[in-house]
């Protein structure tokens, strides 16, 4: 294949990752790739698209799609022998019910490894491929030994480990074998932490925190850095070598003044923790750093960050709250709110009782009722750069029933509509419904964001005006959203992940980054996909 065609393959792969599978297939066919039988890169992409389809199906349809995907990968390997297409063909053959074929393809992959033939890859992936081949043959103990060796070659390559564990789980399910042994190789757990700003920081408290972190094998912490519980937990995370990811609701200077020094903690300690953090995110889209709503937004990002990192790594997300909790329920208002949100998802939670009620308030009081944290969904009924007649657009919008959960009247765009919801769950549910309804009648793209909005009476003509950074950002997200896809900003994606139950069938997949502006930092973009 010529290099001029490779960007097309890359763009189709990106569409498949974003959840726009139908569009990916459409472009694959329109480029004539469905008729290509002599290019291993095209055949491997065909296998990838068919694999995605197979894994979303069940029963006979799953087996048939898996067989087609296996054929495509095997054809790619015949043209250019390599372990990647061979091992994928082997696993997909197993899913298709062709165990003998799966074993032969796995043996072929091992033969390439033994002869050091094939595409260059990392030492980890080469040894993990050997482990997968052994597992396909039912040699569980040998597979585990090989995988243990692969992990030893790259002990902190958590994302790579997670990919392999996902493959192993699929194979073990097909072979009807026990999967519990995989748990020993899962990456460390992630932690969302929060708590009171006035606590005792004595040896007993430190010991309780350290014991919990060790028992849960915590390797990644997500939270803020206010005085009290936040700072103490952050220090204990760093002491055990965990990654620390801090989210501040405003710039660090204002946060230090209002949430650290005002509670008797010094700047040197605050700065020392920040300097050791893996990431530090400062959000202040409204420029009102005392706003409790910005604190809630920061909380959503921290909770969602812990959950999304756990899903990415095929591990567990846990919460730690330090608060007065005489009956196991935090009494500090913000701690109680965060504990309720987390508990509702069914994830593991630890509440350490401080033994005394908090003094003073840990968050400024709420602002006026016209301001609130809101999810914004923007719907476009035309292709990027395309044109849709106003009459046709009106007909399509008229097909819709009023979405439940709206907290304000819609705002109309030249190409569609903007909707406002009080929760990320409601916004995500409605986005999926709207896509299903509107796809049948023409193009549709949907984007979402979360932020502090001010809802005000329109100065003339009646109605309500929504003001806030999210109303602008969502338009920028929509501009880069692929046809038929649903893209969420990092803000809304995190809030959805934080509130979704563990068994929720929807998932978020990272598809890229929205570049920053003078007002905004860069934002990760996620595609909302249904399993």
Structure tokens at 391: 């009459």
Which residues, given as ranges, of the chain have pLDDT below 70? 1-7, 17-20, 118-119, 285-290, 356-369, 383-392, 461, 516-520, 531
Residues 309 and 295: their CA atoms lie apart, in Å, by 21
| Sheet strand arrangement including 317-323 | 279-282, 243-248, 218-223, 189-195, 317-323, 348-353
Q: Which residues contact 58 (CB under 8 A, 6 or more apart)?
A: none
pLDDT for the residue 294: 92
Per DSSP, 5 falls in state G
The H-or-E segment that residue 504 falls in is: none
Q: What is the pLDDT of residues 299-333, one digit of tens each?
A: 999 999 999 999 989 899 999 999 988 878 888 88
Length of the chain: 531
- Is the C-alpha dihedral spanning 417, 422, 425, 429 positive or negative? negative
Structure tokens at 356: 């005394």
3-state DSSP of 404-437: CCECCCCEEECCEEEEEECCHHHHHHHHHHHHHH
pLDDT for the residue 290: 47
The H-or-E segment that residue 222 falls in is: strand 218-223
- Do 260 and 271 meet the contact criterion of CB atoms below 8 Å apart? no
Three-state secondary structure call for residue 282: strand
pLDDT for the residue 397: 75
pLDDT for the residue 2: 47
Residues 133 and 205: their CA atoms lie apart, in Å, by 48
Residues 349 and 343: their CA atoms lie apart, in Å, by 7
Q: Where are the beta strands (DSSP E) in 286-423?
A: 317-323, 348-353, 371-380, 411-413, 416-421
Structure tokens at 240: 């055990």
Q: Which domains does the chain have, with CATH numbers?
A: 9-185 (1.25.40.10), 189-353 (3.40.50.450), 371-530 (3.30.70.1230)
Residues 340 and 421: their CA atoms lie apart, in Å, by 20
pLDDT for the residue 519: 58
Closest CA to 490 of 472, 473, 471, 505: 473
Burial of residue 77 (CB within 10 Å: 0-12, 13-18, 19+) is: buried
Residues 417 and 134: their CA atoms lie apart, in Å, by 53
Helix 123-136 crosses helix 83-96 at what angle (to 10 degrees)? 30
Structure tokens at 163: 């990919």
Burial of residue 93 (CB within 10 Å: 0-12, 13-18, 19+) is: buried
Q: Give Cα 421 to chain centroid, integer Å.
A: 21
- Do 23 and 439 meet the contact criterion of CB atoms below 8 Å apart? no
Closest CA to 501 of 341, 296, 377, 374: 341
Q: What is the pTM of this model?
A: 0.84
- Do 332 and 360 meet the contact criterion of CB atoms below 8 Å apart? no
- Do 342 and 396 meet the contact criterion of CB atoms below 8 Å apart? no
Burial of residue 391 (CB within 10 Å: 0-12, 13-18, 19+) is: exposed
């Amino acid at each position: 294949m010529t290099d001029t065609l490779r960007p097309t393959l890359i763009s189709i792969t990106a569409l498949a990752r974003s959840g726009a599978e139908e569009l990916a297939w459409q472009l694959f066919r329109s480029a004539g790739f469905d008729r290509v039988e002599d290019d291993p890169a095209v055949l491997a992409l065909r296998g990838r698209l068919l694999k995605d389809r197979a894994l979303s199906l069940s029963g006979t349809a799953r087996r048939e799609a898996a067989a087609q995907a296996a054929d495509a990968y095997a054809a790619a390997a015949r043209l250019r022998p390599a372990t990647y297409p061979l091992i994928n063909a082997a696993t997909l053959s197993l899913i298709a019910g062709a165990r003998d074929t799966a074993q032969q393809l796995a043996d072929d992959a091992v033969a390439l490894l033994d002869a050091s033939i094939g595409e260059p890859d990392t030492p980890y992936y080469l040894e993990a491929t050997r482990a997968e081949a052994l597992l396909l043959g039912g040699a569980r103990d040998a597979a585990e030994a090989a995988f243990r060796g692969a992990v030893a070659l790259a002990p902190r390559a958590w994302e790579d480990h997670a990919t392999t564990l996902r493959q192993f789980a699929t194979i073990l399910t097909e072979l009807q074998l026990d999967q519990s042994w995989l748990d020993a190789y899962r990456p460390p757990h992630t932690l969302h932490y929060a708590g009171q700003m006035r606590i005792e920081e004595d040896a007993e408290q430190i010991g309780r925190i350290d014991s919990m972190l060790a028992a849960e094998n915590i390797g990644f912490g997500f939270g803020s850095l206010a005085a009290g519980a936040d700072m103490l937990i952050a220090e204990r995370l760093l002491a055990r070598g965990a990654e620390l990811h801090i989210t501040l609701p405003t710039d660090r200077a204002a946060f230090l003044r209002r949430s650290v020094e005002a509670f008797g903690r010094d700047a040197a300690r605050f700065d020392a923790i920040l300097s050791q953090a893996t990431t530090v995110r400062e959000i202040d889209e409204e420029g009102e750093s005392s706003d409790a709503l910005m604190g809630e937004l920061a909380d959503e990002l921290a909770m969602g960050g812990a959950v999304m990192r756990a899903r990415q790594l095929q591990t567990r997300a846990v919460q730690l709250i330090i608060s007065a909790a005489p009956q196991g329920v935090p009494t500090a208002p913000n701690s109680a709110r965060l504990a309720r949100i987390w508990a509702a998802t069914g994830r593991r939670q630890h509440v350490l009782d401080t033994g005394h009620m908090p003094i003073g308030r840990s968050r400024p009081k709420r602002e006026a009722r016209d301001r609130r944290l809101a999810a914004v969904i923007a719907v476009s009924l035309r292709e990027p750069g395309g044109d849709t007649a106003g009459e046709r657009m009106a007909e399509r919008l008229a097909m819709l029933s009023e979405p439940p959960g709206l907290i304000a009247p819609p705002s109309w765009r030249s190409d569609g509509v903007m909707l406002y919801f009080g929760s990320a769950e409601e916004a995500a549910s409605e986005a999926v419904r709207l896509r299903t309804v509107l796809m049948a009648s023409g193009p549709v793209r949907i984007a979402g964001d979360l932020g502090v909005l001010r809802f005000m009476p329109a100065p003339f003509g009646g109605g309500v005006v929504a003001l806030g950074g999210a109303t602008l950002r969502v338009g920028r997200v929509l501009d880069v959203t692929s046809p038929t896809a649903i893209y969420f900003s990092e803000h809304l994606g995190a809030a959805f992940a934080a509130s979704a139950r563990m068994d929720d069938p929807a998932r978020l997949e990272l598809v890229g980054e929205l570049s920053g502006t003078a007002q905004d930092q860069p934002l990760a973009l996620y595609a909302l996909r249904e399993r």
